[in-house]
Amino acid sequence: MKKMIAVSVFFFCMAWSGAFSDPIASLSFENRGPAIGHPDLPSPEKITLSNCILMALSNNRTVLQSKASSAVAKAKRDQLWKAQLPNAALQVSKVKYKEALNPFLSSEQDVSRLVVTQTIQPFGRYDSQKKAAIFSIQSSDEAERKTEIEISFQAVKTFYDLLLARHLEEVASESVSQLQRHRDLTETLVNAGANPKFDLLRAEVQLSTAKPILIKATHARSTGLADLLNLLGLDPSAQPEMVGTFPEDIINIPVPDEKKALEIALKNRPDVSSAKAAVEAAKNQLTAVKQSLQPALQFSGYAERSRGARLPVDDHLSNIEVQASLNYPFMDSGLTDAQAREARANLQISTLAYQNTVSTLLADIRKAISGVEEARETLHSQEKNVEQALEALAIAEKAYEAGTMTILDYLDAQLALTQAKTLRFQGLHDHAVAIAALERSLGKMPGTLIDKQKGSSTEIVVGGNQKSNSNN
């Protein structure tokens, strides 16, 4: 009796604490993401591109949601394993009859019982469920990695968008200042009778036209900063300094050709791995459903201590009972068939999702490589444009003061400089974003194609004071 109670208590404690070795949990997958950070971290005073990515991975709600989804898959795996362990229950009852059921028994009966049950599925259903759980976890982990890569790309793009907004604001500000100086000079010449009043009117119109561009650029930088702070899970009302440059030293780094890029993507893309694992999980789940009507072995036993149910009625008596049974569910009124149809449909959905992911892979890579090539061709075409536009404006300004050039020629030179600077900064922005998009299409985190940021343009600050003049 004491031995049976000890064994029962041992199984109960093991089942409760999960001390059994979990064969599913021992099958680990590579952890490709950083640890979850606190979502309410205070906003830092400065944000660089590197810590921008780290904060996005730690605080972004979409990333945290994907991590929670992975935790759900692991919890379902644990539920499956725990379901195979023994169950224990303690039953205590006290019964009082109006009259004893038997003249030799008491009208009051006390029963205390410890019951232990164990169900075993020896015909493969548990193995199928185990494999389905393993592939589900792998699919969730890869989906989490996909989210991390996507959010990292969004952080990089938004960061570069802010750099571009800052540069365009500077260009617009310089244009307004230059037009203001020209307007004042024209007014002096008109008052001296050297130039017609038309020149002054045209200069004032051009100045008024440039001001809304500056206003729009200023607000674009402000809203862009709020978008980035929201992406990073920080307070959108904060005003941290964002320090960084466009990486000009990566303009000539080699990129893989289409064939090589496809090989890399098939090996590294998390959406491909996730979709493939989802197909395998659906296959094993279908197999498990088909095995629902397989026989199962059930073992049970209890240790009982009672009084009043057996002679002598006033004594506490102990009893032990052990049972073994075979449960063969040969009919369930079509429930298994319905579950199998659902499992087949889920398998078809997973298969089509995998096929769709693979079919769009080449298009994604081709677009990414084309984006890099287009950005580089644009940059090369504008290589000396800013320098030439600055020289042309200086010549036009002197010629206008000397009266050998009209105001229209001067304004054309000013507009050409503004456009040249805008195209230059836009090209640097587009190239940096295109490189990040190529890395994303290959299933890699930002910065994989380069070791570090080494832009040759001078440092700027977005959301704060300018550190130094940007390159023209």
Query: Are residue 354 and residue 274 in the same domain, yes or no?
Result: yes
Residue 9 has pLDDT above 50, yes or no: no
Residue among 288, 280, 286 nearest 342 (CA): 286
DSSP 29-93: ----SPPP--TTPPPPSEE-HHHHHHHHHHH-HHHHHHHHHHHHHHHHHHHHHHTTS-EEEEEEE
pLDDT above 60 (res 246): yes
Q: What is the pLDDT of residue 393?
A: 85
Asked whether residue 287 falls in the same domain as residue 302, the answer is: no
Mean pLDDT of 4-26: 43
Q: Are residues 255 and 306 in the same domain?
A: no
Last residue of a domain, one of 275, 306, 328: 328
304 pLDDT exceeds 70? Answer: yes
Averaged pLDDT for residues 196-203: 86
Q: Is the pLDDT of residue 458 over 50?
A: no
Task: Please compute the mean of the pLDDT values over residues 228-255 and round it to a whole number.
Answer: 83
- As a whole number, mean pLDDT of residues 140-152 equals 93
CA 439 – CA 449 distance, rounded (Å): 7
Q: Do residues 386 and 349 both lie within one domain?
A: yes
Are 304 and 354 found together in one domain? no
Residues 305, 238 share a domain = no
Task: Look at residue 270 and tell me whether its pLDDT is greater than 90.
Answer: yes
Kindly state the DSSP code that residue 94 receives in the 8-state scheme. Answer: E
Q: Which pLDDT score, from 0 to 100, does residue 14 have? A: 45
- Kindly state whether residue 248 falls inside one of the protein's structural domains: yes
Number of domains the chain is built from: 2
Sheet with strand 46-47: strands edge to edge = 46-47, 241-244, 460-462
Q: Which of 272, 306, 328 is the last residue of a domain?
A: 328
Same domain membership, residue 257 and residue 196: yes
Are 233 and 362 contained in the same domain? yes
Residue 166 has pLDDT above 50, yes or no: yes
Which residue from 128, 147, 13, 135 is spatially nearest to 74, judged by alpha carbons?
A: 135
Q: In terms of Cα–Cα distance, which of 226, 234, 224 is closest to 60? A: 234
Same domain, 309 and 391: no
* 397-443 residue pLDDT tens: 888 788 887 878 888 888 888 888 888 888 999 999 999 999 999 99
Indicate if the pLDDT at residue 40 is higher than 70.
no
- 469 belongs to a structural domain: no
8-14 average pLDDT score: 44
Instruction: Report the CATH number at residue 146.
Output: 1.20.1600.10
**302 and 442 inside one domain:** no
Residues 289, 299, single domain; the answer is no
Domain that holds residue 93: 1-20+88-120+295-328
Among 283, 310, 328, where does a domain finish? Answer: 328
Rounded alpha-carbon distances, angstroms, from residue 153 to 26, 263, 429, 436, 442 = 33, 21, 14, 6, 12
Domain for residue 413, yes or no?
Answer: yes
The reported pTM is: 0.76
Nearest alpha carbon to residue 235 among 66, 39, 48, 67: 39
pLDDT in tens, 321-361: 899 988 888 888 888 899 999 999 999 999 999 999 999 99
Distant-in-sequence, close-in-space partners of 232: CB < 8 Å, separation ≥ 6 = 47, 52, 55, 56, 59, 60, 155
Region 170-185: mean pLDDT is 86
Residue 38 within a domain = no
Residue 313: which pLDDT band, with cuts at 50, 70 and 90?
A: low
* 42 found inside a domain: no
Average pLDDT, the chain: 81
Helix ranges restricted to H, 403-463: 407-441
Query: Which pLDDT score, from 0 to 100, does residue 182 have?
Result: 82
Q: What is the mean pLDDT of residues 354-382?
A: 90
Does residue 29 fall inside a structural domain? no
Q: Do the domain assignments include residue 245?
A: yes
At 3, is the pLDDT very low, low, confident or very high (cuts 50, 70, 90)?
very low
In a domain, 102, yes or no: yes
Q: Tell me, yes or no, whether 299 and 359 share the same domain.
A: no
Give the pLDDT of residue 43: 65
Q: Indicate the range of 31-40, 102-111, 229-238, 301-310 predicted with least confidence.
A: 31-40
- pLDDT band at 4; cut points 50, 70, 90: very low
